[in-house]
Structure 1
Amino acid sequence: MTGRLAVLGAGSWGTTFAKVLSDGGNPVALWARRPALADSIRRRHRNDDYLPGVLLPESIEVDSDVAVVLRDAEMIFFSVPSQALAGTITEVRRHVPPDALVVSLMKGVEHGTGRRMSTVLRDDLGASDDRIAVVSGPNLATEIAREHPTAAVVAATSPETARRVATAATNRYFRSFVNGDVIGTEFGGVLKNLIAVAIGIVIGVGWGDNTKASILTRGLAEMTDFAVAFGGRPETLAGLAGLGDLIATSESPLSRNNRAGRLLGQGYTLDDVVRTMDQTAEGLTSIAPVLELARSRGVAMPIVSQVADVLAGTLDPRDIAPHLTDDLLPVGE
């Protein structure tokens, strides 16, 4: 058991992670922005808006007052849409204890700046690098909330910070491993969402397993090239934060990014998809900033580029075949 832990964001992943931490024997407070949702979770020990049918530990404290949730927090886990993180920090910053560890549960890149979520925490919250950690890996919230055995990665520049967060985020069904590659871990979580949208498009169109496997494997190579260009380690992309997360997100109907891709493949427009989705598909919001970053380092991303063309309406989903483009040399893998 560690000290009091706070989770900011009561969507499916934030609520699930509060359960993970509580089931690890930690005192946990969960911030739900909407008072009605906070009251419902507190009374019923369920979050039927995002995790229907999942019973939450009664010990989780839930409040819509962020000052109450953050009081004396030893670790703060941020689980809000990536494009809302900067605004959330502005809202909560004055309540953050000065020595608290801050942890990103998010997988996105900020529009306009291309900042990773850990960078937003450092810059806007004023947290030093040794107080920041990120969590990634195969993180389908519904399965974890139902206690399916799962492994994840905690990455931090400080080994002690990574160890403390991983210890808190470990229980009988959830195991956290540690590494020091924050860049590779974060970009793995971002990029696999984009490849998952591509796989969803392929499924929606009706193409078979050969097409999916081709895009999946070339997608991993694309992810690795990008992460390494920004200082990540290739072995990180071959592990839980890369390949593991890619497999889960690309293949599961529980994945919001997979679902968004399926709808696009079936002919829905981007506006239609956004209206249909009840939660944010981070892959849709990260495509533009990722492509901008790729261009800045000269990284070819044919899969992500074709997904962007589908979103823009300039490419018929049935024509998506990034593994056949001229951007790739016809030798090796």
Structure 2
Amino acid sequence: MDKRTVNKYMDKKITILGHGEIGSALGKILQNKGFEVYFWDKNPERATQNMALEQMIKASEFVFLCVPSWVLRNALEPVKSFLKPETILVSLAKGMENTGKTMDAVIKEIAPDNFVLMSGPMLAEEISQGMPGFAVLAAPDAVLANKVQDLFKETNIHTETSEGVGSVAFAGVLKNVYALIIGIVSGLGYGDNLKGYLVSKISEEWDYLAEVLSLDKPILRDQAGIGDFIATSFSKYSKNHELGEKLAKGNAGELQSEGLASLPGLISLVSQKTPALPRYLGLLKQVVLDGEPARKVFEF
């Protein structure tokens, strides 16, 4: 990379809200490319020192929201008054509020329409080691997605753009919720034959939900949907898989994940659209919300 290219990148400043695993991994990638990156976190020790949140946001052209869905609204509130009209928000959250609102709807309520959803198989532990990650950049305006795509050119993050914002948001919800199922059957001791069968049946169930919720089936079948679902369901790094295993054994405790947090809102939304829940979403409800034993519910 020549000096002129590095200087071009250094002109762009980026703030990352949430200095956890994914925020740290993306920040490192962007720093290595030459961007000036600031970090803010609820833990002051993980934030950029000697710089207030207001200074970070006002200086930045891009603000990455690397926080869980259940805190996104609260994380955005103190930020919105500092955003410049041209600042682009990039949300990594893949979840749903209990109201049934996906992250694009939450962002629209609080901040300007300059936002991009970044969704796909991007396990932080892998991309931080230089392994490839894959993302769909969904935005109401293709220009916004293209600007974010430019940030990751010549990095290990491979991106595609989409204007199907709502379907990409729902794909992230579905992959996290249904990954709990694969975790549950793993916790119950079932093998890969059943898991392969379940992936195929869950894919069919998503086709049904696409019709019920007016979603784009090709988006659900692509990397932001089934691709991310498989990565999340089978990875040793997946919190949804880990929590599913603990649910199977009845010792989930106070653990939280995007799938668990999104389940009540998804069930409520689907229940408004159809008289009966589809099979596997219904089985998950029996275990997580109704408290029925996983071994009894997931008996094959």
User: How does the TM-score come out when normalised to structure 1?
Assistant: 0.81
Pick one of 207, 232, 235 that aligns with 1:249. Answer: 232
Amino acid across the alignment from 1:120: V
Amino acid across the alignment from 1:72: A
Pick one of 139, 144, 166 that aligns with 1:156. Answer: 139
| 1:104 paired to 2:80 | no
Match of 1:116 in 2: 102
Match of 2:25 in 1: 16
How do 1:21-60 residues align onto structure 2 when only pairs under 5 Å count? 21-38=30-47
1:202–1:262 CA contact under 8 A, matched in 2:
yes
Once the 2 structures are TM-superposed, how far is the Cα of residue 190 of structure 1 from its aligned partner?
1.0
Once the 2 structures are TM-superposed, how far is the Cα of residue 177 of structure 1 from its aligned partner?
1.2
How do 1:253-332 residues align onto structure 2 when only pairs under 5 Å count? 253-268=236-251, 270=252, 272=253, 274=254, 277=255, 280-298=256-274, 300-312=277-289, 314-321=291-298
Once the 2 structures are TM-superposed, how far is the Cα of residue 225 of structure 1 from its aligned partner?
2.9
2:286–2:297 CA contact under 8 A, matched in 1:
no
Amino acid across the alignment from 1:109: M
User: How does the TM-score come out when normalised to structure 2?
Assistant: 0.89
2-side partners of 1:213 and 1:23: how far apart? 38
Once the 2 structures are TM-superposed, how far is the Cα of residue 232 of structure 1 from its aligned partner?
2.4
2-side partners of 1:104 and 1:295: how far apart? 27
2:213–2:270 CA contact under 8 A, matched in 1:
no
Pick one of 134, 157, 172 that aligns with 2:155. Answer: 172
Report the secondary structure of 2:136's partner residue.
Answer: strand
Report the secondary structure of 1:154's partner residue.
Answer: strand
Report the secondary structure of 1:147's partner residue.
Answer: coil
Match of 1:331 in 2: none
Once the 2 structures are TM-superposed, how far is the Cα of residue 63 of structure 1 from its aligned partner?
6.5
CA gap of 1:20–1:264, structure 2 versus 1, over 3 A, is: same
Runs of 5+ unmatched residues, structure 1: 39-60, 325-333
Once the 2 structures are TM-superposed, how far is the Cα of residue 231 of structure 1 from its aligned partner?
3.4
1:205–1:318 CA contact under 8 A, matched in 2:
yes
2-side partners of 1:159 and 1:174: how far apart? 19
1:183–1:230 CA contact under 8 A, matched in 2:
no
2:123–2:133 CA contact under 8 A, matched in 1:
no
Runs of 5+ unmatched residues, structure 2: 1-8
| 1:87 paired to 2:87 | no
2:104–2:166 CA contact under 8 A, matched in 1:
no
1-side partners of 2:132 and 2:289: how far apart? 38
2-side partners of 1:227 and 1:84: how far apart? 27
Deviation per residue, 1:255-308 (Å, 9 max, x gap): 00000001111232x4x2x2xx4xx41111100000011112217332222222
Deviation per residue, 1:84-106 (Å, 9 max, x gap): 11112222222112221112110
Q: What is the percentage of aligned positions where both structures have the same residue? A: 29
Report the secondary structure of 2:167's partner residue.
Answer: helix
Pick one of 189, 196, 213 that aligns with 2:196. Answer: 213
Once the 2 structures are TM-superposed, how far is the Cα of residue 214 of structure 1 from its aligned partner?
2.0
1:63–1:69 CA contact under 8 A, matched in 2:
no
1-side partners of 2:212 and 2:249: how far apart? 34
| 1:135 paired to 2:130 | no
| 1:185 paired to 2:168 | yes
**How many aligned residue pairs are there?**
290
2-side partners of 1:106 and 1:226: how far apart? 21
1-side partners of 2:219 and 2:59: how far apart? 34
1-side partners of 2:110 and 2:104: how far apart? 10
1:202–1:320 CA contact under 8 A, matched in 2:
no
2-side partners of 1:228 and 1:22: how far apart? 42
2:133–2:156 CA contact under 8 A, matched in 1:
yes
Instruction: Please say which of residues 67-76 and 233-242 is displaced more in the overlay.
Output: 67-76
CA gap of 1:26–1:310, structure 2 versus 1, over 3 A, is: same
1-side partners of 2:158 and 2:236: how far apart? 23
Amino acid across the alignment from 1:121: I
Once the 2 structures are TM-superposed, how far is the Cα of residue 163 of structure 1 from its aligned partner?
0.8
| 1:66 paired to 2:49 | no
Amino acid across the alignment from 1:219: I
